[in-house]
Structure 1
Amino acid sequence: MKHIFWILLLASQVTFAQSISEKKLSKKKLIEQADYYFFQEDFVKALELYSDILDNYPRNHYVQYHKYVAYQLTAGTSENLDSLKEYEANEGKTDKFYNYWLGRIHYNRYEFDIAEKHFQAFLDLDIYKTKEITVETKQRLKETVKAQEFYLSPNEFEVVNLGSPINSAYDDLSPAFFSGHSELMFISSRDYAHEGTDYKKPTTHSVFHCVKTGESWDTPTSIDALGTFTEKNAKIEVVNNDGRLFLYKTEAGKSQLYFSQPIKNSWSKPIIFDSRLGSANIQSHFFINDAETVIYFSSKTDNGDLDLYQSIYDPARQSWSSPVAVPGLVNSQYDEDSPFLSHDGKTLYFSSNNPESIGGHDIFMSTWNEGSYGWGTPVNLGFPINTINDEINFQMNEDDISGFMSSDRLHGKGGFDIYYFHKQGKVLVEGTVFNNADGSPVANARIDLKPINNDDETFRTHTDQNGHYETEIFTNENFKGLIYVGNQLAHTETFKSEHPEHSKSFEQNFRIDIPEHVEETDFKTLYDKKSEQKYERMEMLGSKFRAGEKAMLRNIYFDVHSAQLTQESYPVLKELYLMLNKNKSLNVEIGGHTDNTGTLQSNMDLSLARAESVKAYLVKQGIATNRLITKGYGPTEPLASNDDEVNGRELNRRIEVRVLN
């Protein structure tokens, strides 16, 4: 998913970073503290704080609901949604963002058809929504539809997680095979001493080594001589099979390309490969060909994105050329990273987050064009090589049909894992879906065919008016067929795809029981507009998640029949200033309101004068005057009856702040 930068919330709320144990707070303040991180989309911290609150207030449904949302958007991506769905009847009706959150959750679970409905339902709600959240949701909806198209058309590759002990709950990256693929070195942030505990994941990475015995891998061991890596874009590569080991890492605050020689049963201490290829140039992943005559690497441009560069070795001078951008059409205004050159030198593979990606960083390939002497238009390798998550460290074996890569995709062991991929043959499957009751064909049924060993892949098709279907699937695989009528699952059946001799296809029919009632879920009916908030908390006015456009400035005091602010007003005004100073694109209306004591004209004049006093304070603090407009409403918009002072006229005398953009 493309990174979108959110407007930050009120700076004074940074005090929320104090732990609950450090400061005794009321339940309301504790919830506001957790909400701050939740709406900042720091779901890990929010989850921690909501959990702490529930230790003392276990029946608070609001906290339980937000905890489950945070959990599903972080650690619980692969788990069922039963706990969250329990809150649909209540929080689903009171939280206008319910469909938005469910859309994001289902998207992360690769359930794009459901995510699409939730995003659309949120957009269709006739409620107040910020421009930021509306634009963002439309973009998420667009990306969801695009991802669905990719996922329902898997290419000929099959992707397999290498599993334990190579992959762990931590990041496992940059596989480097040698000795005929019987030995593997890779980078990992694993910490054996604390694995399986609540210990926080380390921020450093080490090089690990393991040997394959038979069909299984021995437990990886760290190579201490190679040191540690502090950045996720660290890279290792073994050149010439069992030759030198190259490393990209940071030492003493400077990133460099290093190399290490094999010695006995270990490796030598890394030394700088070439000072010309230091941190001013190589700033992320690299690739060196077997002959050690060309280096491809990524480096930051003046615009802050990563582009691919190359340096050529000159044997006459025994030195590397100054790096230049790779020729052709590879580089863009987005990131191009993690290069790999095919063994014949004609195909360049790399990772990019350009608009043609499914989401995150995808693997692309570009073919060398001898005529233009440059690389051609990049082509996305599609699903299942790519997912909505990140794919890096791609490397193709010499056979051009198999290889390895790293990805933080769904259903992994945790963080980035190392995957093996290989091309798989396909066969045409065709057949008919019959009604079990009378044997008649079932038209317009949806058929999802999923390989049993990889539930993320789906080959989808539909029956025609005669109940017939056909599609290509992997050959010699066990499949699960799911038949849907409307939105209801009507039938599940397993079968094996076999490629018969002297035929290009095989037949697989299904007999199903038609559901009595086929209903579509209407997500739009979940939210109850009666729960719409009239006023938002001040600190939320700068957030895309604000529930309304207004905040009331309570505890603002003026002298009687005067627009002169009293000393007691300044703490609240400071909060308003801090919020506006933090959200510099925000323009607001400051509205003054009075009770009905006195004449209408005098109250209209007084309310405007008081609004002007608030504006004057903000301008004096440094807020630009063109961001503030004032308006006096007098007694025309009362919140309560003016018959009583308490809970009446005192509520009507107020200052309101309304967001204009």
Structure 2
Amino acid sequence: MKRILQIILCLFIGITALNAEPNPKAFLQIVNSLEKGEKKAIELITKQIKKDKKEAQWYWFADDYYESEDNTDARIGILKQALSVKKLSQIEETQLRLAMAYFDAGNYKSADSILAVLKQNKKVTKLRRNCIIADSLKRNPIEVIVTDMGDSINTPYDNIWPFASTDKEHFLSTVVIGKKNSTPDQNIIQEDIFVSTKKNGKWQYTEVLNGPMRTNENEGAQSISADGNYIFYVACNRRENIGSCDIYYIIKNKNTWSKPINAGSPLNTRDWESTPCISAGNSVIYFSSNRPGGYGGKDIWESTISKTSNGQLIFSEPKNLGPKINTSEDEISPYIDPYGKYLYFSSTGHGGMGRFDVFYTQKDKNAEWTEAKNIGYPINTHKDEFGFTLDVDGQTAYLSCNGYEKFSANKRIFSIRLPQSLQINRPLENKGDTIILENIYFDVDMALLKPESAPSLGNLLDFLIVHPNYNVEISGHTDNSGTREHNQSLSMARAKAVVEYLTRHHISPSRLTYVGYGMDKPIASNNTDEGRAKNRRIEIRIKR
């Protein structure tokens, strides 16, 4: 109710300055009723509007009430009614509210037409920019197939945080039990992790995931490591918590799971941490937090992971992903694709269609994140879209939304068949496929991997974890500088160095072979520096 508290402050300032008296007793009664989420609040508000129809604050209260009910039609109606009153107090603020209601309804042109005549302050300018972006996205839709996942995945309550296992056999989600409308009784709300299993190619009815994670408190925002050995999730308001919401994980040991393990400091703080997602190689965790040191609101952070002999995880000091991703508003639900190419997240701070929109970014050749890009309409709508994840095929996405069905009061989970332009292409697919492993660096005439090779090696590691049945050949190649015998030996040693990196990170040696071809298989002319640089390379070939 932050917005209501701001209104209270403005009202009291206005009352003091103007010596106005909009019935303080009724005012406080309405505030109390709104804060409790009571339905009778609108009756109290309507009563005051009839008594004093020139007082804008009563209409603002109605706007707040209908906003809490997610009823944009009613918001627009009450604010238009207010603006039809002669000698209405505080007309410009009421016009701004009407513009915001139009924007929240997805009527961007009507919103902008009002904003255009208002005083152009920072807030109005930002809203106008969002109107232009949203209208452009809507006029240039992408071709997708959006499908409600049906009652086997969705329950009558809010269904959020979808996540499909890499083996395509389990589908996890968080169900907000008791939430059937926008203003539920908070005393009956219970968040639990649910799971559906696939049988004969069809998802079975989702049910509570029993096990060590489940308690009488709230658990959710779950994700599974690509190797299936870890489940991460979030638990709030626990006695053992460091902050309000902490990240936990459990470890698989054959057919059993460990007790829940609080990820501890520095991953968790006295603030709020949530929506964890781990890279396929179990080397990096991405999450959202409102800890100090960010850009405002909730930000996306990353932490590198090391593993102890008993499987427990050690997390490095988290690093903020920076202003290309984070804004002064909220960024949540990060998801790194199975091949480590793209990072997806939801944001209210980047220009979009309203509320939480899905954005994505990728690392450039310097391993820096690029500017976040809106994934487009109709994946994004004027309502909330979050929890974007991908199937292991890189062609199907999942998310939670309440904007695809006009009269849906609850969030449901949808699958989205992505267009070719948004699909994640597998780096290798069939037996015999070969790719060059880019950005692998060695010292001159040596086989010692340089630190800047880590991002590409990590991507290869992710790929092998996602595809446990793939066996690969690592081959080394050189230019024609030096003798044939020396180059063959050097290329063999460099291929072996890559294999040793993978085995140190728990890839079975039985899945890996290496060979050195020296100068025998050039892909470019050795007569130029550029050609020789291309010939010095590491290649990966599927052998399965």
Q: What TM-score does the superposition give when structure 2 sets the normalisation length?
A: 0.57
Residue 226 of structure 1: aligned partner = 213
Provide the rounded CA distance (Å) in 1 between the counterparts of 2:233 and 2:402: 22
Look up the equivalent residue of 1:9 and give its one-letter code.
Answer: L
Residue 309 of structure 1: aligned partner = 302
Provide the rounded CA distance (Å) in 2 between the counterparts of 1:136 and 1:229: 42
The correspondence for 1:385, drawn from 368, 379, 400, is: 379
Residue 404 of structure 1: aligned partner = 398
* Cα displacement string for residues 601-638 of structure 1 (whole angstroms, at most 9, x for unaligned residues): xxxxxxxxxxxxxxxxxxxxxxxxxxxxxxxxxxxxxx
Q: Verify the 8 A CA contact 1:366 1:376 in the aligned structure 2.
A: yes
Residue 250 of structure 2: aligned partner = 260
Residue 136 of structure 1: aligned partner = 123
Provide the rounded CA distance (Å) in 2 between the counterparts of 1:86 and 1:275: 51
* TM-fit CA distance, 1:116: 2.1
The answer on 1:235 being equivalent to 2:221 is: yes
Residue 481 of structure 2: aligned partner = none
Q: State the secondary structure of the residue aligned to 1:9.
A: helix
Aligned CA distance change for structure 1 residues 288 and 110 (closer, same or farther; 3 Å):
same
* TM-fit CA distance, 1:200: 4.5
Residue 473 of structure 2: aligned partner = none
Q: State the secondary structure of the residue aligned to 1:374.
A: coil
* TM-fit CA distance, 1:227: 3.1
Provide the rounded CA distance (Å) in 2 between the counterparts of 1:31 and 1:165: 47
Q: State the secondary structure of the residue aligned to 1:142.
A: helix
Provide the rounded CA distance (Å) in 1 between the counterparts of 2:166 and 2:66: 42
Residue 208 of structure 1: aligned partner = 194
Residue 102 of structure 1: aligned partner = 98
Q: Verify the 8 A CA contact 2:66 2:74 in the aligned structure 1.
A: no
Aligned CA distance change for structure 1 residues 145 and 43 (closer, same or farther; 3 Å):
farther
Provide the rounded CA distance (Å) in 1 between the counterparts of 2:173 and 2:319: 28
* Cα displacement string for residues 566-610 of structure 1 (whole angstroms, at most 9, x for unaligned residues): xxxxxxxxxxxxxxxxxxxxxxxxxxxxxxxxxxxxxxxxxxxxx
* Cα displacement string for residues 176-197 of structure 1 (whole angstroms, at most 9, x for unaligned residues): 22385454222222228x9899
1:402-481 mapped onto 2 (5 Å cutoff): 402-407=396-401, 409=403, 411=406, 413-414=408-409, 416-424=411-419
The correspondence for 1:154, drawn from 141, 147, 166, is: 141
Residue 541 of structure 2: aligned partner = none
Q: Verify the 8 A CA contact 1:177 1:241 in the aligned structure 2.
A: no
Aligned CA distance change for structure 1 residues 274 and 324 (closer, same or farther; 3 Å):
closer
Look up the equivalent residue of 1:338 and give its one-letter code.
Answer: S
Provide the rounded CA distance (Å) in 2 between the counterparts of 1:53 and 1:357: 32
Q: Verify the 8 A CA contact 2:45 2:62 in the aligned structure 1.
A: no
Look up the equivalent residue of 1:258 and give its one-letter code.
Answer: Y
* TM-fit CA distance, 1:110: 0.6
Provide the rounded CA distance (Å) in 1 between the counterparts of 2:144 and 2:371: 21
Residue 460 of structure 2: aligned partner = none
Look up the equivalent residue of 1:116 and give its one-letter code.
Answer: D
Aligned CA distance change for structure 1 residues 195 and 226 (closer, same or farther; 3 Å):
farther
Q: Verify the 8 A CA contact 2:42 2:62 in the aligned structure 1.
A: no
Look up the equivalent residue of 1:366 and give its one-letter code.
Answer: T
Q: Verify the 8 A CA contact 2:356 2:384 in the aligned structure 1.
A: yes
Look up the equivalent residue of 1:75 and give its one-letter code.
Answer: E
* TM-fit CA distance, 1:311: 0.8
Q: Verify the 8 A CA contact 1:204 1:228 in the aligned structure 2.
A: no
Residue 536 of structure 2: aligned partner = none
Provide the rounded CA distance (Å) in 2 between the counterparts of 1:339 and 1:298: 7
* Cα displacement string for residues 346-399 of structure 1 (whole angstroms, at most 9, x for unaligned residues): 2222334444444444333222234x2333333222223334444332212233
Provide the rounded CA distance (Å) in 2 between the counterparts of 1:388 and 1:324: 32
Provide the rounded CA distance (Å) in 2 between the counterparts of 1:65 and 1:11: 13
Aligned CA distance change for structure 1 residues 71 and 326 (closer, same or farther; 3 Å):
closer
Aligned CA distance change for structure 1 residues 230 and 110 (closer, same or farther; 3 Å):
farther
Provide the rounded CA distance (Å) in 2 between the counterparts of 1:323 and 1:352: 24
Q: Verify the 8 A CA contact 1:257 1:282 in the aligned structure 2.
A: no
* Cα displacement string for residues 322-363 of structure 1 (whole angstroms, at most 9, x for unaligned residues): 235277875545455432222222222233444444444433
Residue 621 of structure 1: aligned partner = none
* TM-fit CA distance, 1:236: 0.8
Provide the rounded CA distance (Å) in 2 between the counterparts of 1:331 and 1:272: 27
Look up the equivalent residue of 1:107 and give its one-letter code.
Answer: F
Q: State the secondary structure of the residue aligned to 1:365.
A: strand
Look up the equivalent residue of 2:281 and give its one-letter code.
Answer: A
The answer on 1:248 being equivalent to 2:244 is: no
Aligned CA distance change for structure 1 residues 72 and 161 (closer, same or farther; 3 Å):
farther
Provide the rounded CA distance (Å) in 2 between the counterparts of 1:197 and 1:324: 35
Provide the rounded CA distance (Å) in 2 between the counterparts of 1:236 and 1:404: 14
Provide the rounded CA distance (Å) in 2 between the counterparts of 1:93 and 1:310: 57
Provide the rounded CA distance (Å) in 1 between the counterparts of 2:11 and 2:319: 42
The correspondence for 1:112, drawn from 104, 108, 114, is: 108
Look up the equivalent residue of 1:310 and give its one-letter code.
Answer: S
Q: Please tell me the root mean square deviation across aligned C-alpha atoms, in Å.
A: 4.9
Q: State the secondary structure of the residue aligned to 2:301.
A: strand
The answer on 1:189 being equivalent to 2:190 is: no
Q: How many residues align?
A: 397
Provide the rounded CA distance (Å) in 2 between the counterparts of 1:393 and 1:198: 22
Look up the equivalent residue of 1:368 and give its one-letter code.
Answer: K
Provide the rounded CA distance (Å) in 2 between the counterparts of 1:89 and 1:324: 49
The answer on 1:297 being equivalent to 2:287 is: yes
Q: State the secondary structure of the residue aligned to 1:348.
A: strand
* Cα displacement string for residues 116-151 of structure 1 (whole angstroms, at most 9, x for unaligned residues): 223345x28xxxxxx9xx653444333223322222
Provide the rounded CA distance (Å) in 2 between the counterparts of 1:313 and 1:354: 33
Provide the rounded CA distance (Å) in 2 between the counterparts of 1:420 and 1:288: 21
Provide the rounded CA distance (Å) in 2 between the counterparts of 1:228 and 1:181: 27
Look up the equivalent residue of 1:418 and give its one-letter code.
Answer: I
Provide the rounded CA distance (Å) in 2 between the counterparts of 1:48 and 1:345: 51
Rg larger in 1 or in 2?
1
Look up the equivalent residue of 1:244 and give its one-letter code.
Answer: Y
Provide the rounded CA distance (Å) in 1 between the counterparts of 2:395 and 2:216: 32
Provide the rounded CA distance (Å) in 2 between the counterparts of 1:198 and 1:307: 29
The correspondence for 1:367, drawn from 356, 362, 367, is: 362
Residue 376 of structure 1: aligned partner = 370
* TM-fit CA distance, 1:83: 6.3
Look up the equivalent residue of 1:297 and give its one-letter code.
Answer: F
Residue 460 of structure 1: aligned partner = none
Q: State the secondary structure of the residue aligned to 1:377.
A: coil
Gaps of at least 5 residues in structure 2 are: 14-20, 422-544
Aligned CA distance change for structure 1 residues 421 and 27 (closer, same or farther; 3 Å):
same
Q: Verify the 8 A CA contact 2:178 2:189 in the aligned structure 1.
A: no
* Cα displacement string for residues 228-264 of structure 1 (whole angstroms, at most 9, x for unaligned residues): 59779x5211224654322232431325433335799
Q: Verify the 8 A CA contact 2:104 2:354 in the aligned structure 1.
A: no
Q: State the secondary structure of the residue aligned to 2:137.
A: helix
Residue 511 of structure 2: aligned partner = none
Aligned CA distance change for structure 1 residues 93 and 104 (closer, same or farther; 3 Å):
farther
Q: Verify the 8 A CA contact 2:344 2:361 in the aligned structure 1.
A: yes
Q: Verify the 8 A CA contact 1:308 1:326 in the aligned structure 2.
A: yes
Provide the rounded CA distance (Å) in 2 between the counterparts of 1:85 and 1:362: 26
* Cα displacement string for residues 392-420 of structure 1 (whole angstroms, at most 9, x for unaligned residues): 32212233222112345474744544332
Q: Verify the 8 A CA contact 2:67 2:75 in the aligned structure 1.
A: no
Provide the rounded CA distance (Å) in 1 between the counterparts of 2:188 and 2:295: 27
Residue 593 of structure 1: aligned partner = none
Gaps of at least 5 residues in structure 1 are: 14-25, 125-130, 427-661
Q: What TM-score does the superposition give when structure 1 sets the normalisation length?
A: 0.49
Look up the equivalent residue of 1:311 and give its one-letter code.
Answer: T
Aligned CA distance change for structure 1 residues 295 and 84 (closer, same or farther; 3 Å):
closer
The answer on 1:145 being equivalent to 2:132 is: yes
Q: Verify the 8 A CA contact 2:295 2:323 in the aligned structure 1.
A: no
